[in-house]
Amino acid sequence: MTPTIEIGDTIADGTFTYVPYTPELDSHAACGVPTKLSIRKEWKGKKVVLFGVPGAFTPTCHVNHLPPYISKHDELKAKGVDVIAVVGANDPFVMSGWGRFEGLKDKILTLSDPNVEWAKQVGLIADLSARGLGVRIARFALILDDLVVKYLGVEPAPGAVTVSGADVVLSKL
């Protein structure tokens, strides 16, 4: 699917679900309580880096996509980024579990779009049915500044992190 958003567009409104970090989540016996995040309400007036992954704990996402964002967190913040978030099609508990496994705490929000409703609105989906994964979120990165798309990089090939990685995003800030 071709993205339906472009640089200069105001991002489509939508609601993600996520489990906010609390110290109780450091115990693996806790699950947390999912809450909603409204894009337009929460990100208005902010600089946001949002990157999408087909799935938590999947090889490219887990090894090559998320870890550089973790290691570059301070550099992204130094460039004026208010929010760093990753969105996947997994449910909010899986996304939270992935974040806890990676030690994210509150550095990177782990957002859930389990029915890819928002991703469909903006044309950022990938049909991975042939691999047994169903319809997922495409691998992408975008920079928003007061809800306006300033950068959009959608990976052209499965398993690639060439236009959506932390280094490329840093170079675009």
What is the set of active-site residues? 61
Buried b or exposed e, range 52-84, using 16+ CB within 10 angstroms: bbbbbbbebbbeebbebbeebbeebeeeebebb
| Short-list 21, 67, 12, CA closest to 40 | 12
The residue type of 138 is A
Residue 109 CB partners (closer than 8 Å, separation 6+): 18, 37, 83, 84, 85, 86
